[in-house]
Structure 1
Amino acid sequence: MKISTFNIENLDESSDEYNPTLFKRIPSLRCLLNRIDADILCLQEVHGQELLGHTSNNPKRELSALETVILDTPYVHFHTAYTTTSDEVPYDKRNLVILSRWPIVELNQYKHDHLAKLGYRKSTVLPAEEPKDISWERPILHAQIEVPSVGLVHVINLHLKSRLSSNVKGQKLNNYTWKSAAGWAEGYFLSSIKRVGQALETRVLLDQIFATAPQAKIVVCGDFNAEPGEVPVEAIRGRVENTGNPALRHTVMLPCSLAIADSVRFSHLHHGQKNLLDHMLISQSMFSLFSEAHIFNENLHDESLPFASDSKFPESDHAPFVAHFNS
């Protein structure tokens, strides 16, 4: 059995001077998806496309860009789950998607279901505001999949808040220029709260699963926008070294990345720096089935280099992470 996570980067039908057309992206993406050859594939940044008759009061969307990409691949026959708005349609931007060879027996998404919104008063906002709630930008997608000869597997797909600073009203000259360092810092602080907050909600969800099924088979994967050892990853892992409680050892989530050589243990490049932002964490019961892991980063590009433009590559700026399990 192979499980993979892949931030496919802004998959959409639309294009502009910086973003290539879907037609130009399809060959490289389809080739990579076929190479991944996963039985369960978790995707991030799958945009929704508006259908005829769509309005703000009557939203109508589908994932037609993804459907086009997976044509002529085995995934076209897979069971599909994705995040939805309160109107039961895909979000317009950055949906989480799970494609599974086997039936999805239960599906849930969570956004402040296990952790209330946090009230916060911005210090640098202009003009001054009353405290407002801080909310995550994306739900947590949780699928329960019945895998032959393995049993029930909980697959949790995440895309935590990026490291880019959140907007602070009155503190930006334009999309790229801040009026003050303090304004930028507060925006960065707010993004950190969102990233860690959603990681905490994920950990609360894990504890609830373990409370009813101590030997549950769980995979948590996705774009964490955080390196190993940083707070979001540590919060989800729940290591005994942090809790100081050996009785909680069965709830510890183990990183598949440790099975990959350090020299190739990266899924993202920024200013020449190799970063591991995409993760796959597994429960102890899944660890007994785990055999090996790979990151397909041979063709990964660095858009942030000084000689690069804002033009996007057909490929994603994240590399797929693939883990193999015995079944």
Structure 2
Amino acid sequence: MRIATFNIENLDHNAVPPRPSDADFATRARILRPMLERLRARIICFQEVHGQTPPGGGPRDLLALRDLLAGTRYEGYSLSSTRLANGRDVWRFRNLVVAAHPDYAVEEVRSIGNTLVNPPRYSLVTSNRPDPLVEVSWERPALYVRLRRGDDAPLHVLNVHFKSKHPSPVPGQGPVNHEWATVSGWAEGYFLSSMKRVGAALETRLFIDAIFDAEPEPNILICGDFNAEPHEVPVMAIRGRVEETGNAALVHRVMHPVALSVAESLRFTLYHHGRPNLLDHMLVSRRMMSCFRQAEIHNEMLHDESVAFATDRKYPESDHAPMLAEFDMQANLLGA
């Protein structure tokens, strides 16, 4: 079984608002389809998939993604997505999607965002608001999908996209035209984004611990764009290493990063100002690790879109590289 994660970067039919620097959908599709075919995945976790309203009206749907997958091996895959509270419409921007081969039955789909962790209340320091107290909630929920193939044990998939490292807005401080009024205001915005990123990671950890409570040896896979390096708090909070908890009895709840099997020189999914970063991750439970075979990061043609004049028209694929992991579920000795 091959499973991939891919931040496909703002997949849409047309950019909103349209800019001369944007690549059109047809150009993007010509480059993205061969990348997807190379993955040969049975399950793909996508991030940053935009939703579109059908021409004749109706619920907003993943029309651009469906058009991208048409004619590929993924046509006919089930698409489970984050949705609005009405349950019909997908979000206009940045949906999480789990695409699964028809062999896998979709047993449950759930969004997890500010449901297990109450948004912390924080008193702004640099803001000009009369009431500085705000709720710090994370904008993007995680997507949980439970899949099952035949009589096999269920596969618990969590697709995440944590808050970026860009500072969150602070009233009276900015950003206005990408400028901040003071360094302190910028620093507070950066702090707010950190709270959102770590809060979402805590909620993800709480959710998988509930799965561990229900199943002693579950198949759990967490993947997506963490916007954090392997050593940073959002990743470490979900991994739960015994070195950190100090409790050997929790060893079966540790989540293992498959990227550790990739050579260190190739272990990156994004370039930022010339520096390779590993911001996309795939963490698996011990039971899944028992049948893990290999991991790949398809970063050979990755471009640095943070440098000057690096527009999407020049680099229409994505600023992230897809990550792939292969498992031999028949060799899962813990499930025997």
Aligned pair in 2 of structure 1 residues 124, 288: CA closer, same or farther (>3 Å)? same
* Equivalent residue number for residue 50 of structure 2: 47
The alignment partner of 2:154 has SS state of: strand
Q: TM-score, normalised by structure 1?
A: 0.95
1:217 aligns with 2:216: no
CA shift digits 1:262-298 (9 cap, x unpaired) = 0100000011101000000000000011000000001
1:183 aligns with 2:178: no
Q: Which of 26, 30, 39 is residue 27 of structure 1 equivalent to?
A: 30
* C-alpha displacement of 1:149: 7.2
In structure 2, the gaps of 5 or more residues are 330-336
**Contact 1:53–1:60, Cα closer than 8 Å, also in 2:** no
Listed as ranges, the matches of 1:1-327 within 5 Å are 1-15=1-15, 16-51=19-54, 60-88=59-87, 89-101=89-101, 102-148=104-150, 150-172=152-174, 174-306=176-308, 308=310, 313-327=315-329
Percent of residue pairs bearing the same amino acid type: 46
* C-alpha displacement of 1:111: 1.0
The alignment partner of 2:194 has SS state of: helix
Q: How many residues align?
A: 323
Q: Distance in 2 between matches of 1:139 and 1:173?
A: 24
The alignment partner of 2:107 has SS state of: strand
Moved more, 305-314 or 208-217: 305-314
Moved more, 168-177 or 202-211: 168-177
**Contact 2:23–2:312, Cα closer than 8 Å, also in 1:** no
* C-alpha displacement of 1:128: 3.5
* C-alpha displacement of 1:301: 0.3
CA shift digits 1:216-245 (9 cap, x unpaired) = 010000000000010000000011111110
Q: Distance in 1 between matches of 2:172 and 2:314?
A: 30
In structure 1, the gaps of 5 or more residues are none
Moved more, 277-286 or 120-129: 120-129
Q: Distance in 2 between matches of 1:31 and 1:323?
A: 18
CA shift digits 1:162-196 (9 cap, x unpaired) = 00000111112623111111111111000000000
* C-alpha displacement of 1:303: 1.1
Q: Distance in 1 between matches of 2:151 and 2:34?
A: 29
Q: TM-score, normalised by structure 2?
A: 0.93
